Copies of this chain bind each other. A is one copy, B any other.
Amino acid sequence: MRIGELATKTGVSVRALRYYEEQGLLASERSESGQRQYGEKAADRVQLIQQLYAAGISSAAILEMLPCVVTGVASPPVLAKLRGHRSSVVKQIEELQETLRKLDSVIAGAHASHASGVPCPPA
């Protein structure tokens, strides 16, 4: 498929896909005329990239670990980095859960101002 189709299929912009290629994260064949051609696996890879981005992992780090993640095989040094990322992801999850608790407590107690008219009472 061409880049536009991959973009709509994955919900990622054309610009972003070209950026991924620029960073070495996403490969493409080229047609006679120079247009990018993607296979079916490309969509999965794009979503994987997005997922790693969402975990706060930089494109350089993703580049390093991507083949390992895809194949499920990594050497010890890379493995150490993967473990580092793992623990940072765990930490992020914990922090988000804490944030969630705070938001919930606000939401739960918020009925108190139904009639106040001000968006937030003064702190």
Given A106-B69, A123-B67; A92-B96 close (CB under 8 Å): yes
Of the candidate stretches A6-14, A30-38, A107-115, the one touching chain B is: A107-115
Is A43's beta carbon under 8 Å from chain B?
no
- The tally of residues in A whose CB lies under 8 Å from a CB in B reads 54
Copy total for this chain: 2
Task: Give residues in A with beta carbon < 8 Å to B.
Answer: 48, 51-52, 54-55, 64-79, 82-83, 85-86, 89-90, 92-93, 95-100, 102-107, 109-110, 112-114, 116-123
Q: List 25 A-B contacts (CB under 8 A).
A: A48-B102, A51-B95, A51-B98, A54-B92, A54-B95, A55-B99, A64-B119, A64-B120, A66-B123, A67-B120, A68-B110, A69-B106, A71-B121, A73-B113, A74-B120, A75-B114, A75-B119, A79-B110, A82-B103, A82-B107, A86-B100, A89-B96, A89-B99, A92-B96, A93-B93
